[in-house]
Chain A
Amino acid sequence: MRAAAGVAFALLATAASAAGASGLVPIPAGPYTPFQKVKAAYSAEAAPLAPRVLAAFGLDEEPVTNAEFLAFVTAHPEWRRSAIKTLFADGRYLRRWKADLDFGGAARAGQPVTNVSWFAAEAYCKARGLRLPTTAQWEYALADAGRGQDQVRARSLEWFAVPNGADPGAVGGPANGFGVRDMVGLVWEWTWDFDAFAMTAESRDPNGKDGAAVCGGAAAGVADASDYPAFMRYAMRASLKAPYTADTLGFRCAGGAP
C-alpha cells in the first residue's frame, strides 16, 4: 500500500517536472493548419493554407503570474508602473496593482498578470532568454493535436459568461495533452505577431488586408466557421496595438526546444 502510494507520488513528481530546467514544456513538432485562409495574389478567392510543419519549441506551462512579474519589475525598475514610458504602455498598465511593487494581496500571487502591454510582456520574456510565442505556436499548443477541442471551446464560452470585474482565477487548471494549462478560461494572451493577422478592423470586409478576413462575417475566409472562440481570439488580437493593456489580457513565454 505504502509502496503503491510512493510510486504514484513519483509519477506525479515526474509529470510536474516535465517543464524541465528552463521552465518550458516541450511542444513536439507537428502539422499546423492556420485558422485563416489566405488570399493568393491577384485572386479574390480565399484558398486554404496547406498544413505546414511547425518545429518543436518550448512553452510556459501556465500564464505568467503576478508574483513572477513582480520579481521582474523588482529587477528591472524601468518596467515599473511609475516608470514605464507612455510609448510602451497605455494608461492602464498594471492598473490593478496597489503600487509599483505590490500586486495587492496574497490571493493574486498565483493569478495571471494582466494589464501588461506587448512591449512589457516581450521584455519579461527577453529577460528570461525567451520571447512571446508566435500566433501559430500558441494556436498549435491550444489545438493539442486535436485532443479535447470540445472542452476547449466549452471552457472558452463559459469564460465569456463569467461576469466581468473580478480578478482572473489562479493558474493551475487541467493540463492538455502537451502538458500546458490555462490557455483559455482565465485570460487572453499576447502573441509575438498578434498584428500579423489584422484584417481591416471590419470583420466582413472582402477587401481587407491579405491573410486576414477574420474579424467578421468573412466566414468564408476561415478553416472552421463554427469555431466561434477562434474568431474571438483573432478579433481580440486584431483590436490591439502593442502599447495596449487590458484587464483580461496576459501572456506566457516561449523558446526553442528545451
Chain B
Amino acid sequence: MKRRSLSSGVALAAILAAGAAFAASRDDNRADPVIGEESAVLTDAPNTPPAIHRDHATKVIVHLEVKEVEGQLADGVRYVFWTFGGHVPGKFIRIREGDEVEFHLDNHPDNKNPHNIDLHAVNGPGGGAAASLTAPGHSSVFSFKALNPGLFVYHCATAPVAMHVGNGMYGLILVEPKGGLPPVDHEYYVMQSDFYTQGKNGEKGLQPFSMEKVIDEKPDYIVFNGSVGSMVGDKALTAKVGETVRLFVGDGGPNVVSSFHAIGQIFDTVYAEGNMSTPTHNVQTTTVPAGGSAIAEFKMSVPGTFILVDHSLVRAFNRGALAQLKVSGPEDKLVYSGKQFDLVYQPEGAGARVAASDRPVTPPPAARNKAERVKLGAEVFANNCQACHQENGLGVPDAFPPLAKSDYLNGDKVRAIKTVTGGLEKPLTVNGKPFNGVMPAWSLSDEDIANVLTYVYSQWDNSGQEVTPQEVNLHRVKAN
C-alpha cells in the first residue's frame, strides 16, 4: 500500500515536471524579458527552420510576402495560387514561447488583391487580421507576444475568406515551448488542403477557382503541400532505419478535416492539435482539424516506402492526399519479414473464379444462330480472355499461349471445352512452343462458353466451327 502510493507519487512528480517544461503560464510569458533581436528564418515545405536553442525570449522580425503566382496543382493542371511566400503552404515560421514578434505583411505590387493574416498563435482581435489588411504594393506591420506554445495555423482572413484560403493562403507557425522539443533526426512540414476548380479533377489547363464547389464543400483536389505529387518519387521525404522523424502536420482547409495516417508506421508520439502539454503515444491515425495541426513523431524500424495519407481514402486515391516517406537501411526480419511465400490458392474443388458464381446473374439472351453466337462471344472474350490471350489472339510469348491458328485449340473441340470449364495447370505445347502457366476454371454458363468458343473459332483464320451449349453441357468438367 505504502509502496503503491510512493510510485504514484513519483509518477505524479514526473508529470508535473513534464508539465512545467511545457507550460509556462501566459503571465510568465508576457513578463518574460525580451533580449536582443533576430530575423526569422522562414522555409518552404517540406523543410522547417532549425530548432531554437535560445534560453531567453527575443524580438523576432518576420517578413512574409504575399504573392499570387501561377503554379501546378496536378499534372497538366495549372492554377493561380495565392501564397504566403511564393508556395503553398506558406513559409514555416518558428519562434519561442515568450518571444515578441514584429510582423511585416508585404503584399507584392503585382498582386490583384488585398490580403491580411490571422495567426492562431496570436491573442488579439482577428489574430492580427484586424491590423493587417494590406492593399497590393503595400506593407502592414503589427507586433504580438507569443503567450502560448504550440503548433498553430496561420491564414488569410480577407473576405471572402473561403476563397483566399481556397487559393492557398495558409501555413504553420511553431511556438516552441521553453524547454524546446526533444531532438530528432528529421523534421518535415506537411500541410493538407482542399482545392475547388471549375474543371473536374484532372481536367488540364489553367483552372479558375469554383465558387459553387467551395460553397457546396465539394473539392476536386485534396492534397499535401499544395499539389498532387508534391512529395512522391524524387521529392519524397527521406529517412534511414533507426532515425527519428517528426512531422509538423497542418490542415489549411478551407473545408476538409484530415484523418492523417502513415501506412505501415505507427506514430510513437502525437501532440494532438499541436498541443504540447499532453503528448499521446502509439497512435495509428490522428485527426487534424481544418485550421488546426498535429505533431507526429516516430522511429523508423525497417526500410521501405511509407505512404502518408488522409485515411478518408478516396481523398488519397482519387483527389491527391498522398505523400511518400522513403526509408533506407538494413532489414529487420523480426520486426517485418517481408513476403515469405507466394502460393497459388485454389479453393478446394473449384477454379479460382468459382466464387463469382455466388453473385446473382441475370442470364443474357441466348444466341439464336451462329452469327449472334459470335457477337455475344466477342463480349465474353473481351471480359474474360483478352487480358491474357490478347485482343489479336496471339497471346504473350512464354506466358500465355496463342489462340490464333492454335493447333491445341483447333485440333480438338471437346478438349477446348474441357480446358475452359476445368482449367489447366500442366505443361503444354502450342504450335511447337512450350507453355507452363495456369488457366483457371471458368465458371461461365454453357451459353457463354459456347459463344466464346464459337467466337474464338471464327477469328484469326481458325477452323470456324460452332460450339453449342448442348455440347458444352455434355463435355464440361463438373465441379465436385
Interface presence of A22 (CB below 8 A): no
The 8 Å CB contact of B215, one of A204, A226, A234, A241, is A226
Chain B residues, Cβ within 8 Å of A239? 114, 133-135, 138, 158
Residue of B nearest to A241 (CB): B135
Stretch at the interface among B105-113, B171-179, B228-236, B255-263: B105-113
The 8 Å CB contact of B70, one of A159, A163, A200, A244, is A163
The 8 Å CB contact of A205, one of B111, B130, B163, is B130
Task: Give residues of chain A (215-256) contacting chain B, Cβ–Cβ below 8 Å.
Answer: 215-218, 226, 228, 231-232, 234-236, 238-241, 244-249
| In contact, A205 and B125 (Cβ under 8 angstroms) | yes
Residue of A nearest to B71 (CB): A163
How far is B476's CA from A180's CA once the two chains are assembled, in angstroms? 80
| In contact, A165 and B110 (Cβ under 8 angstroms) | yes
Interface presence of A139 (CB below 8 A): no
Chain A residues, Cβ within 8 Å of B68? 164
Interface presence of A153 (CB below 8 A): yes
| In contact, A161 and B130 (Cβ under 8 angstroms) | no
How far is B130's CA from A205's CA once the two chains are assembled, in angstroms? 8
| In contact, A216 and B135 (Cβ under 8 angstroms) | no
How far is B68's CA from A234's CA once the two chains are assembled, in angstroms? 19
| In contact, B112 and A248 (Cβ under 8 angstroms) | yes
| In contact, B133 and A202 (Cβ under 8 angstroms) | yes
How far is B209's CA from A159's CA once the two chains are assembled, in angstroms? 10
Smallest beta-carbon distance B86→chain A, Å: 12
Smallest beta-carbon distance B278→chain A, Å: 29
Smallest beta-carbon distance A113→chain B, Å: 16
The 8 Å CB contact of B137, one of A159, A188, A215, A244, is A244
Using A161-B206, A161-B208 as known contacts, say yes or no to A203 and B110 having CB atoms under 8 A apart.
no
Using A201-B116, A203-B159, A216-B161 as known contacts, say yes or no to A247 and B109 having CB atoms under 8 A apart.
yes
How far is B132's CA from A176's CA once the two chains are assembled, in angstroms? 36
Q: What total count of A-B pairs have CB within 8 Å?
A: 132
Interface presence of A157 (CB below 8 A): yes
Question: Interface code B133-158, partner A: CB below 8 Å = 1, 0 otherwise?
Answer: 11111100000000000000000011
| In contact, A228 and B116 (Cβ under 8 angstroms) | no
Total interface residues in chain B, CB < 8 Å: 40
How far is B206's CA from A163's CA once the two chains are assembled, in angstroms? 9
Which applies to chain A's interface (DSSP): helix, strand, loop or mixed? loop
How far is B209's CA from A247's CA once the two chains are assembled, in angstroms? 22
Task: Give residues of chain A (65-99) contacting chain B, Cβ–Cβ below 8 Å.
Answer: 90, 92, 95
| In contact, B161 and A203 (Cβ under 8 angstroms) | yes
Smallest beta-carbon distance A147→chain B, Å: 19
| In contact, B136 and A235 (Cβ under 8 angstroms) | no
How far is B207's CA from A239's CA once the two chains are assembled, in angstroms? 27
How far is B208's CA from A160's CA once the two chains are assembled, in angstroms? 7
Interface presence of B131 (CB below 8 A): yes
| In contact, B132 and A201 (Cβ under 8 angstroms) | yes
Smallest beta-carbon distance B68→chain A, Å: 5
Interface presence of A214 (CB below 8 A): yes
Chain B residues, Cβ within 8 Å of A203? 116, 126, 129, 157-159, 161
Measured CB to CB, the residues of A under 8 A from B are 90, 92, 95, 153, 157-165, 188, 200-205, 207, 214-218, 226, 228, 231-232, 234-236, 238-241, 244-249
Could you list some 7 contacts between A and B, CB below 8 A?
Answer: A153-B211, A204-B129, A205-B130, A217-B161, A239-B138, A241-B135, A246-B136
The 6 closest A-B pairs by CB, nearest first: A239-B114, A201-B133, A202-B130, A161-B208, A202-B126, A231-B160
